[in-house]
Amino acid sequence: MNNFKTLPWIHIILFILTVFSTLSAGAIWEGIDIFSEPSRILEGWPFSLTLLSILLSHEFSHYIASRLHRTKATLPYFIPAPTAIGTFGAIIKMKSPITTRKALIDIGAAGPIAGFVISIVATVIGLNISQVVKAEEIKGIGFGSSIIFLVITKLVVGDVPEGYAVILHPVAFAGWIGFLVTSLNLLPVGQLDGGHITYALFGQAHKYISKIFVVMLFILGLIAWYGWLVWAGLLIILGIKHPPVLFWEERLNLSRRVTGIISFIIFILSFIPAPLQIIS
């Protein structure tokens, strides 16, 4: 009975609700009207399973890295939402300070690297079962591409003939979302994952880098996608500063510096300047 009471019920309930909301989103992407045919909601499992796998790998990598560095952290809080993808993602909450630059690098980079790898796997699988159709048959929302998504599409699908486009299978769509989430987390701003890494590598220069990237997001919001204006505003509200670590080592070892560089390469490969476009 005591074990039942000590279960992390908030985390479990939020996860179950997110499973339901992502199943609903996946079914809708399959063209199913879940209001008239609610029993078909389970047909959204390819999207739901893929997206939750990406989010789980990201958040639990943060959690494991935190435990290895004896930093107290909560289990992931999943956030169900009535959106096109069924969720606002997941977060873990740090309950004690991150004490060293090594810990900042390890904790900050673990999640995006893990999520990036699973997103690659999902995209390869999903593109293999996606369809190439005439572009004139497509109306609605179009998705911009990151460098990594373009490369994988080239390798898996090959050259798409002029006048044709790829209709993403829900598994490939989940992989696309995974790359977008990875790039958002790796923005070198505030206390995002990229902010942790930037502070560990560059110290007080972090505040200048944060400001530069927020300004760049505002500019992108004006010329590429209005969503960046919202994201820049949220970052300002949340704060673009980074708290100091308790123990500032004289020098980071080579492996941590390489990890930081790899993380920024992943950011460049994953970033999508204009994620959404209206196709008429």
For residue 115, pLDDT over 80 is answered with yes
Judged by average pLDDT, the poorest of 26-40, 63-77, 195-209, 244-258 is 244-258
| The pLDDT of residue 46 | 98
For residue 57, pLDDT over 90 is answered with yes
| The pLDDT of residue 165 | 87
| The pLDDT of residue 5 | 67
Q: What is the pLDDT of residues 258-269, one digit of tens each?
A: 999 999 999 999
Name every residue whose Cβ is closer than 8 Å to that of residue 223 and which is 6 or more positions away in sequence: none
Q: How many angstroms separate the CA atoms of 53 and 57, rounded? A: 6
End-to-end CA distance of the chain: 58
Q: How many angstroms separate the CA atoms of 93 and 95, rounded? A: 6
Binning pLDDT at 50, 70 and 90, where does residue 194 land? very high
Q: How many angstroms separate the CA atoms of 152 and 95, rounded? A: 39
| The pLDDT of residue 6 | 75
Residue with structure tokens 């810990």?
A: 103
| The pLDDT of residue 197 | 97
Q: How many angstroms separate the CA atoms of 177 and 50, rounded? A: 10
| The pLDDT of residue 4 | 65
Long-range contacts of 4-11 (CB under 8 A, 24+ apart): 8/75, 10/77, 11/74, 11/75, 11/76, 11/77, 11/78
Question: In angstroms, how far is CA 158 from the centroid of its own chain?
Answer: 26
- Residue 78 sits at φ, ψ, to 5 deg, of -85, 145
**Average pLDDT, integer, range 52-72:** 97
For residue 170, pLDDT over 90 is answered with yes
**Average pLDDT, integer, range 132-139:** 76
- Average pLDDT across the chain, whole number: 93
**Average pLDDT, integer, range 16-27:** 97
State percent of the chain over pLDDT 90: 85
**Average pLDDT, integer, range 272-277:** 90
CA atoms within 13 A on the CB side of 82: 0
For residue 70, pLDDT over 60 is answered with yes
**Average pLDDT, integer, range 167-171:** 95
Q: How many angstroms separate the CA atoms of 15 and 79, rounded? A: 8
Strand-pair partners of 133: 165
| The pLDDT of residue 2 | 57
DSSP state of 253: -
The per-residue DSSP string of 123-154 comes to HHHHHHT-EEEEGGG--EEEE---HHHHHHHH
**Average pLDDT, integer, range 54-81:** 96
For residue 280, pLDDT over 60 is answered with no
When computed from its CA atoms, the radius of gyration of the chain, rounded to whole angstroms, is 20
